[in-house]
Structure 1
Amino acid sequence: MQSKWNITTGNKKHIHDLARKRFFAAVDEEDGGFQDFIHTPNFVLVDKAKQIRGIYNGTLDEEVNRLIKDISILKTE
């Protein structure tokens, strides 16, 4: 199995806006400045069309298992 990570790079404020407003990865509303860090237990599953397919709490076994199942389903689409 080949692994592939898509990592967002660029302007820090833009990345933080994406995480907070587009992917809802964080609920706080900081300014995206130098000392602004996003820490979340969530995994966000995004498909090829850049649509959110699920949000999973990575600290809960049942959520991680659901993520693994949903990834398998998504790979067949």
Structure 2
Amino acid sequence: MPERFNVKVNDALWERLPVEDRQQVDELVDAGRHIQAIALMRECTGLPRPDLRDCVDLLELRAQALRDR
């Protein structure tokens, strides 16, 4: 895993998403719809809204996890 990822922040961000939204994010990532996945993450996590960099990092981690399954 690249050092630039803040795993604790990304785990916390993932945990803030409701379960049904996590599934939808994974479906969007799997379909290559990354912008929509990031928009969903930012929209569904509540306040404070996560910054774009954290969402992109989480997206990359989810993409890797989905490829590895």
Higher strand share: 1
TM over 0.5: no
- The structure having more radius of gyration, on CA atoms, is 1
TM-score by structure 1 length?
Answer: 0.29
Higher helix share: 2
